[in-house]
Structure 1
Amino acid sequence: MTVVVAGAAGGIGRACVEAVRAAGGQVFGADLDNDLDITRPGGAEQAIAQASAYGKITGVVHAVGMSGRALGDGGVTACGDEAWDEVHRVNHTSVFRLLRAAIPAMEEGGSIVVVGSALGTTLDDDFRTVAYASSKGALIPLIRSAARETAPRGVRINLVSAGLVATPMSRRAQNDRAIQARLPELMPLGARLCTPEDIAAAVLWLLSPAAGRTTGAVIPVDGGWHLR
């Protein structure tokens, strides 16, 4: 199993790298740390080309993402053009670019997994970030369209919808006492944030033959967030 992990240096991406390696797979990591920025034109194609030199690609993971709060992401009337454009470029357009580059390279089938967010399908006043939410919500028709296109050639494409995960990007929520007090409501299964390893476990299953009949699915790993 040779897996390309985009966002390999991030919290979830790093956990995915470790999970694949622990399962005996080979990982090609793409991240800013090794000058492989899939969010830029040509970056995804470069990453896939370099990974292909190491052997047949059987899996691809997209674990790249950003919050736009520092750029002014918020409600519809508060969010500026910079936040909207940048968040969609990183969280949505980069997925399209990676899919477009990876699918032709997977001639003998394989699995592509995209890490999304529960905020792509739910609303909450403590997490009012229209650019982030819409960028994650837009991933669902994207992966479903790609899954339908690639099913006849044996390529599976699925999305893991993550709840709050204990990574540096969620530090605001981790340090907010009011949000912490709401965890039994927000994530009733365990009343705690997910760990990167929780997400990586679902990603690993979707990469594996055990999920060989699953494509176009949105798999919630959110402690029950989507049940509200």
Structure 2
Amino acid sequence: MPQQNTLGQRMLADKTILITGASSGIGAAAARLFAAEGARLVLVARREDRLKALADEIAGAGGVAEPVAGDVVSEDDMARAVDRAVARFGRLDGAFNNAGWATAGSLLHETDTTVFDRIMDVNVRGVWNCLRRQIPAMLAGGGGAVVNTSSVAGVQAPGSAAPYVAAKHAVIGLTRAAAAEYGQQGIRVNALVVGSTRSELMEDVLRETPSLEEPFVARSVQKRMADPVEIAQAAAWLCSDRSSFVTGAAVPVDGGWTAA
């Protein structure tokens, strides 16, 4: 049974958590929030300079973060990141597999195969590579919690590119399969069904095509985009012991998009 939460205790105190896609957007927001909640972090992304700057920022605020430049598409990079977590902190308690990639939608028959391959590699193989390396480390430590980033495109076809819809459905499938396989060994695995979020990437898109903002918020009950920290808060809860009876779930953090 989970230990009772101590009033005022930080949600992720003394946990070692790996975050992918940590150099910007939801990943960077999660890094700052998780550190404030007491986690020791391993931060993974391709942009080493931004990772180091974020790790320095977290250290300056009293937190602990180890930057590891790497690409989720590379199994070797993910192995190196997990090994770094165990070598420095002694264990891996949680992971937020947040790295992803998307592009502007086109009709299925007009989508180039290279786009399909890239979307599948980052969004599906990336999560696969992470899970295959994270789970053994968590088993060795007696358990843990994994959160994978899916999307409203993982439960609907909201007009995104067909390969992206397929990839985010696959993320939920991998999440449920892993939850079922490892639940009795103390590992929980959940997915976030993320709605439109005002990340740096989204801001770039809207600067180029301002007319896209209206359809991005039209189906949200709250009629706005999420701030990245709102997604990070849900991930922090799922990585914490406060969600100890939640596993195999696809948790909507979408402003009511999937409810409408």
Asked if TM exceeds 0.5, the reply is yes
Q: Which amino acid aligns with 2:103?
A: G
From the superposition, tell whether residues 220 and 173 of structure 1 become closer, same or farther in structure 2 (CA, over 3 Å). Answer: farther
The residue that corresponds to 1:160 in the other structure is 192
CA distance in 1, matches of 2:234, 2:44: 20
The residue that corresponds to 2:114 in the other structure is 82
Q: Does 1:111 align with 2:145?
A: yes
CA distance in 2, matches of 1:172, 1:130: 22
| Residue number among 83, 90, 107 corresponding to 1:49 in the alignment | 83
CA shift digits 1:157-187 (9 cap, x unpaired): 0001110000122236634454433466311
Q: Does 1:188 align with 2:221?
A: yes
The residue that corresponds to 1:61 in the other structure is 96
CA shift digits 1:5-25 (9 cap, x unpaired): 111112110111111111111
CA shift digits 1:25-61 (9 cap, x unpaired): 1111111124322211312111101111122111111
Check the 8 A contact 1:2/1:59 in 2, yes or no: yes
Check the 8 A contact 1:119/1:136 in 2, yes or no: yes
TM-score norm. by structure 2 comes to 0.81
Q: In angstroms, what is the RMSD of aligned CA positions? A: 1.6
CA distance in 2, matches of 1:46, 1:183: 37
Q: Which amino acid aligns with 1:59?
A: G
Q: Does 1:120 align with 2:154?
A: yes
CA distance in 1, matches of 2:123, 2:37: 28
The residue that corresponds to 1:22 in the other structure is 36
Q: Which amino acid aligns with 2:45?
A: D
| Residue number among 205, 208, 221 corresponding to 2:253 in the alignment | 221
Unaligned segments of structure 1, at least 5 residues: none
The residue that corresponds to 1:13 in the other structure is 27
CA distance in 1, matches of 2:75, 2:92: 21
Q: How far is the alpha carbon of 1:156 from its aligned partner?
A: 0.3
CA distance in 2, matches of 1:5, 1:184: 27
SS across alignment from 1:216: coil
Check the 8 A contact 1:68/1:131 in 2, yes or no: no
The residue that corresponds to 2:240 in the other structure is 208
Check the 8 A contact 1:63/1:115 in 2, yes or no: yes
Check the 8 A contact 2:20/2:44 in 1, yes or no: yes
Check the 8 A contact 2:196/2:217 in 1, yes or no: no
Unaligned segments of structure 2, at least 5 residues: 1-14, 49-67
What is the aligned length? 222
CA distance in 2, matches of 1:142, 1:183: 27
